[in-house]
Structure 1
């Protein structure tokens, strides 16, 4: 994305239009960032209820090219990268000059595939749990051992997206569902949601649920409490 582009409407089509899904694949959202000017755009004051477009583009990104790195000093570059990670903790950032990078970073992202949606890194989850920042847009991650009740989870997530869908830019997760041998994977853009059965849990694999939400004014405690109401207790044999 660049300029005033908002990829949300285009990306949503790939989640809901069956004919388009048969003919095309949405590989991912790539956002190009001007390292020399991004902070002033992130700090722009917007009217109440209006999301900063630069923040929205970063929040929706699957990969980020941090360009013009030769025009800023080291501390400024680190501040820029820290600000970006505070908004979108899950998107890899590649520093570039003149947007030069290898094609492997740009292509084959498969951000909307089941394998990618189920691949939520442990270091990302641990980092998000302890992260605090002042921006209205950020990431909330959950990593919980045990199973969820599918009906309870479906009802909670659908209710959440109905009431807060405009504020939740991206969400995805992998679930251990009680009574099912396969992983369940979900991903969404605003209120548009896709849920599918994925691979079986391995016999020596710990069943757990991993989720990430990226959006505006997310309340971590509300998300955790809502999710935990869907979770079944983990019984000990001791």
Structure 2
């Protein structure tokens, strides 16, 4: 099944934001603010009951018989008792009947949850896919404990890898060097998410809504630091440090036209204050100025997804396809991917491919060589 397709997204679809993040990072503080502040939107919050701190302890009247509670500011809060699909269908039905009113949904996952299965729900179930539009994954990272969480928990790395926006809380509790070290590590895990320090008392809630992170035609942004690091790898040997103080292990081949450069999935990070860190989740970028043969590319991507789908978190890019005079926009989540035509190549542009893959221990050399063999 295809990934989200904005060309067929009517305005009537209900946008959904998935809010995830490290234990104690401040998700609950942010949600409490959303649920109590007047912001002109009716938001239904689906709270995972297994959270370490339930919202309703402080904000909602304890009423175990009532799954959905309407708040004075027009928001709705409900606790997932059972299946997410059932809850979403129930909310949609009650909205349709006029029983409750809301404009959008925020799903809070627990601090230990992998957001992947939640995101897949919006592509795998036909009723859900027709009613709801997955907008973005927002991940909250604690500046003080973020490094330790990434070291200890692969779930924390997955939450970062899935994110469209990363919010760093508690920045005031760390020095600038520690903050920059954490930020650099987050960029290497996920170079396509914007990273913003936040004070939850001041966060502009509108910046968290309508991100369009799963829209195929949303701009492919890759963090400039990550690309600068790549460029350095293009011109350096692969076994020594350079300006960014990052070591990387590389074991992939290069082709002068179609090649991949990036952080790979073995990250040793250090500065003068930190030990080395190795993350299972990582990113790399494939770039080429040569066109793809469409049949070969489709066969290869289909095979890759069958084998590595569970370990592919997010992948997205702009494809240069032989015989097509416009860019093709491509993205996927785990085993579901989709592509559709984008804007035509301008006369001043040199057509090219840029693909970013984020996943768990992905074999960069296999991806690279396979993609190179798909070039026309």
**TM-score for both structures, normalised by structure 1:** 0.85
Contact (CA 8 Å) 1:171, 1:188: kept in 2 or not? yes
- For residue 165 of structure 1, what is the aligned residue in structure 2? 309
- For residue 68 of structure 1, what is the aligned residue in structure 2? 170
In 1, Cα distance between equivalents of 2:126 and 2:346: 31
2:148 to 40, 44, 47: 40
- For residue 283 of structure 2, what is the aligned residue in structure 1? 139
1:154 alignment partner, SS class: helix
- For residue 211 of structure 2, what is the aligned residue in structure 1? 109
In 2, Cα distance between equivalents of 1:180 and 1:211: 18
In 2, Cα distance between equivalents of 1:105 and 1:24: 20
**Worse-matched range after superposition: 63-72 or 35-44:** 35-44
In 1, Cα distance between equivalents of 2:289 and 2:314: 23
Q: Which runs of 5+ in 2 are unaligned?
A: 1-19, 22-110, 231-260, 269-278
Aligned-residue offset at 1:157: 0.8
**Worse-matched range after superposition: 153-162 or 78-87:** 78-87
RCO (CA 8 Å, sep 6+): is it higher in 1 or 2? 1
2:134 alignment partner, SS class: coil
User: What is the number of equivalent residue pairs in this alignment?
Assistant: 225
In 2, Cα distance between equivalents of 1:122 and 1:144: 18
1:93 alignment partner, SS class: strand
Contact (CA 8 Å) 2:263, 2:282: kept in 1 or not? no
Alignment of 1:1-238 (within 5 A): 1-2=20-21, 3-44=111-152, 52-98=154-200, 100-116=202-218, 119-121=220-222, 123=224, 124-128=226-230, 129=261, 131=263, 133-134=267-268, 135-232=279-376
1:90 alignment partner, SS class: coil
Contact (CA 8 Å) 1:68, 1:99: kept in 2 or not? no
Aligned-residue offset at 1:162: 0.9
Q: Which runs of 5+ in 1 are unaligned?
A: 47-51, 233-238
- For residue 46 of structure 2, what is the aligned residue in structure 1? none
Aligned-residue offset at 1:10: 2.2
Contact (CA 8 Å) 1:15, 1:193: kept in 2 or not? no
**TM-score for both structures, normalised by structure 2:** 0.56
CA 69–12 in structure 1, closer or farther in 2 if over 3 Å, else same = same
In 2, Cα distance between equivalents of 1:146 and 1:122: 23
Contact (CA 8 Å) 1:36, 1:68: kept in 2 or not? yes
Contact (CA 8 Å) 1:114, 1:185: kept in 2 or not? yes
Deviation readout 1:94-127 (Å, 9 max, x if unpaired)? 01234632234312210111221x5244835453
RMSD of Structure 2 on Structure 1 (CA): 2.1
2:359 alignment partner, SS class: strand
In 2, Cα distance between equivalents of 1:22 and 1:163: 29
1:25 alignment partner, SS class: strand
